[in-house]
Amino acid sequence: MPLFWKHYKSEVSSFIDELKAKKPTLEAEQRAGRALLWDKPVDRQAQADYREAKVEQQPYVYQTKAH
């Protein structure tokens, strides 16, 4: 490692570090927000029912069906 080596820190990293220092609860709030939409238990039976109930789309969607 050369003598003039200086550790580089990007502006974005500096901004995030500063933001976390100003608001220490930020990560906990982000996790709570994520839990509202993403961290949900998966109902396998409901997924299977949805797949089974799916109706195939006709080749040309704007064409009315001729009976």
* pLDDT per residue as tens digits for the range 35-53: 888 888 889 999 999 999 9
User: Is 64 within a domain?
Assistant: no
d(CA 47, CA 53): 10
The pLDDT of 55-65, averaged and rounded, is 81
Beta-carbon contacts of 20 under 8 Å, excluding residues fewer than 6 positions away, are: 26, 27
- The better pLDDT of the pair 49, 6 is held by 49
Q: 40 lies in a domain?
A: yes
**Most distant pair of Cα atoms in the chain: their distance:** 83
Task: Return the higher-pLDDT residue of 40 and 2.
Answer: 40
| Parent domain of 37 | 11-53
Q: Is residue 17 part of a domain?
A: yes
Q: Does 1 have pLDDT greater than 70?
A: no
pLDDT of res. 2: 61
